[in-house]
Structure 1
Amino acid sequence: MKVIGFIGPSGTGKSHRASWVARERGTDFIIDDGLLIKGNQIIAGVSAKKESTKIASIKRALFIDKKHTEDVAKALVRYNAQSLLILGTSDGMVETIAERIGIGPLDEKVYITDVASEYEIKQALATRREQGKHVIPVPTFEIKKDFSGYFLDPLQIFRRKGKGSYQLVGEKSVVRPTFSYMGNYTISDYTIYQIVEYVTSNIPGVSKISRFRAENRPDGIYIEMDLILIYGYTIKPLLREIQEKVSEQIKHLTALNIQRMNVVAKSLVVENKK
């Protein structure tokens, strides 16, 4: 396997340029902050940016955890990867990652200064320092399942093809890690309930929520709710509609990942006809 190191200090824009550097060297496989990425998909690993402390984040990025390392190594074999781009903050970091995964010495090293100007690097550092933003080189929908509660926005990357013409190179996701100096934030279960109550109250066929429970875990939200429905509506399609609309609004308003939503039709009421 051909192993390429992409090296530069933290916050200088490596992840932003990773897809382009990989494409220029003929590889679809990237290791970035604990994740193994193929094209626009995460195929193995756990993101260091999901860790709750900076120390834990460093350990994750360096593949200290045995199971994490084995999962990524097995995925490289399973996908028959012929080349791989490894991102790191130093020569030693990328060499350590390659050694731990068992893929041998590096064949090539690319430095951030080779692909970005001094001005671009300064801009990237300022964004990291002032806004706490980090880029992951995959679309937002690909990491929704792995991240819960700290998305900022998707970033679309274009390349100029000619005068007034641009080509979409790829989409990346901008996140703020939980260990960011910007601090933590919490969305209470009652806030989730208020969103759910508002959504369901505007769905024809729903009378009210009789029981509601939301559990906010590290991997996302688990919701259980009992509903009183109005007699005369087909129950199964109605419950499916409730799940879809509630899920859509919670994701849109909070960026939280819903892992499970159990909806129970507890009872029926008959509306009085005037």
Structure 2
Amino acid sequence: MRVVGFVGPSGTGKSHRAVWVARERGIDFIIDDGLLIRGAQIIAGTSAKKEKTKISSIKRALFTDDEHANDVKTAIRQYNPEGILILGTSDGMVEAIAKRLEFPEISEKVYIQQVATDFEIKQALTTRKEQGKHVIPVPTFEIKKDFSGYFLDPLQIFRRKGKGSFQLIGEKSVVRPTFSYLGNYTISDYTIYQIVDYVASNIEGVNKISRFRVENHPEGIYIEMDLVLVYGCRIKSLLREVQKKVIDEVEKLTALNIKSLNLTAKSLVLDPQKVLDARRSDWAT
């Protein structure tokens, strides 16, 4: 197995360029921040971006945990790649990762200055420092399930084909981990309820939420709620509409993954306006 190291200080754009560097060398497998990646898929490992502190993030990236390291080593034996690219912030880091995962000696090292201009590196450092953005070289759908509660954005990469013509060649994900900020953040259950209540109450046919329950888990949240609907609505299609709009809005505003949203049509009420119109019609006759 041919092992190549890709070296550059933190925040200089290594993950952004990793796929290109690997392709240029005919390599399909990448080790980046605790993950083993093949193409657009995470094969094994746990992302260092999920750690709560910088120290624990570094330990995760170095595979200091035996279970974590063994998980990746097992996957490597299974896939038996011809080559692998290791990302690290220094020569020592890529060498330590290679040793920890029992790889052969590193045959080549690529440095960020060889594949990015000084301006691009400076721009990447500014983005990391001011916005706390980190890139993971896989599509957002691949990691979304593991990053509930993290601010997450897709980053599409295009190649110019001609004048005014571009081809989509890949997608990466931008995350803002907890350790990028001064302290942790928490989204309370009541905040989630307020979002859900606002969305649901603005859907025609919904009178109110009569019961609301949310459970937080590392992989996402589980919501149960009972609704009071307006008599005359199409109950099944209305519940589907509520479910879709609530999921879209909560995930957009909080970055939390909704693992399930169970709705129950608990009761019906008459539309007061329709009752009044009916009475006026009776009075007129």
TM-score, normalised relative to structure 1: 0.89
Q: CA deviation at 1:214?
A: 2.1
Residue of structure 1 in register with 2:185 after alignment: 185
Q: Distance in 1 between matches of 2:233 and 2:246?
A: 18
Cα contact 2:228–2:269 (8 A) shared by 1? no
| Aligned-partner SS, 1:262 | strand
Task: Please give the alpha-carbon distance, in whole angstroms, between the structure 2 residues aligned to 1:69 and 1:259.
Answer: 29
* 1:102-152 per-position Cα deviation (integer Å, ceiling 9, x unaligned): 332222211111111222222222222222211111222222111123325
Question: Partners of 2:238 and 2:127 in 1: how far apart?
Answer: 45
What is the distance in 2 between the residues matched to 1:44 and 1:5?
A: 19
Please name the residue that 1:50 is paired with. Answer: 50
2:146 partner SS:
coil
Secondary structure of 2:141's partner? Answer: helix
- Does the CA contact (< 8 Å) of 2:30 and 2:86 recur in 1? yes
1:238 Cα shift?
4.2
Which has more radius of gyration?
2
Distance 2:141 2:67 in 1: 25
Checking the alignment, whether the CA contact within 8 Å between 1:132 and 1:182 is kept in structure 2 is no
Residue in structure 1 matched with residue 206 of structure 2 by the alignment: 206
Counterpart of 1:268 in structure 2: which amino acid?
A: S
Alpha-carbon deviation of 1:46?
A: 1.3
Residues 1:38 and 2:43 aligned together: no
Question: Residues of 1 paired with 2:226 and 2:164: CA distance?
Answer: 55
| Whole-angstrom distance in 1 between the partners of 2:182 and 2:161 | 38
d(CA) in 1 for partners of 2:85, 2:256: 30
Q: Distance in 2 between matches of 1:5 and 1:113?
A: 14
Once residues 62 and 101 of structure 1 are traced to their aligned partners in structure 2, the CA distance between those partners, rounded to angstroms, is 9
Provide the secondary structure at the position in 2 that maps to 1:27: coil
Q: How does 1:151-190 map to 2 (within 5 A)?
A: 151=151, 153-190=153-190
Contact 2:27 2:85 in 1 (8 A): yes
Whole-angstrom distance in 1 between the partners of 2:183 and 2:197: 29
User: Is the alpha carbon distance of 1:269 and 1:51 closer, same or farther for their aligned partners in structure 2, counting shifts above 3 Å?
Assistant: same
Letter of the structure 2 residue corresponding to residue 193 of structure 1: Y
Aligned to 1:220: 220
Deviations 1:42-62 (A, max 9, x none): 222211111111111111111
Tell me: CA distance 1:53–1:195, structure 2 relative to 1, closer, same or farther (3 Å). Answer: same
Which stretch of structure 1 is more off in the superposition, 170-179 or 157-166? 157-166
Task: Identify the residue that residue 282 of structure 2 maps to in structure 1.
Answer: none
| Aligned partners of 2:36 and 2:43 also within 8 Å | yes
> 1:169: how far off?
2.8
* Structure 1 counterpart SS, 2:178: coil
Shift of the 107–211 alpha-carbon distance from structure 1 to 2, 3 Å rule, reads same
Q: Residue 99 of structure 1 corresponds to which residue in structure 2? A: 99
Query: Is there any run of 5+ residues in structure 2 with no aligned partner, and where?
Result: 279-285
* 1:93 counterpart SS class: helix
TM-score by length of 2: 0.85
Q: 1:264 to 1:9 in 2, by over 3 A?
A: same
**Counterparts of 2:133 and 2:145 in 1: how far apart (Å)?**
19
CA distance in 2, matches of 1:181, 1:247: 26
Deviation at 1:77, TM superposition (A): 3.3
- Residues 188 and 117 from structure 1, CA distance in 2 versus in 1: closer, same or farther, beyond 3 angstroms? same
| Alignment partners' CA distance in 2, 1:261 and 1:144 | 17
Q: In 2 relative to 1, CA 106–262 (structure 1 residues): closer, same or farther, beyond 3 Å?
A: same
Q: Which residue of 2 aligns with 1:78?
A: 78
Counterpart for residue 253 of structure 1: 253
For residue 268 of structure 2, what is the aligned residue in structure 1?
A: 269
Contact 2:3/2:84 (8 A) holds in 1 = yes
Distance 1:82 1:229 in 2: 60
Task: Give the equivalent residue in structure 2 for 1:147.
Answer: 147
Distance in 1 of aligned mates of 2:73 and 2:21: 22
2:4/2:106 contact within 8 Å kept: yes
Task: Call closer, same or farther: CA 1:101–1:240 in 2, change over 3 Å.
Answer: farther
Give the deviation of 1:183 after TM superposition. Answer: 4.3
- Unaligned ranges ≥5, structure 1: none
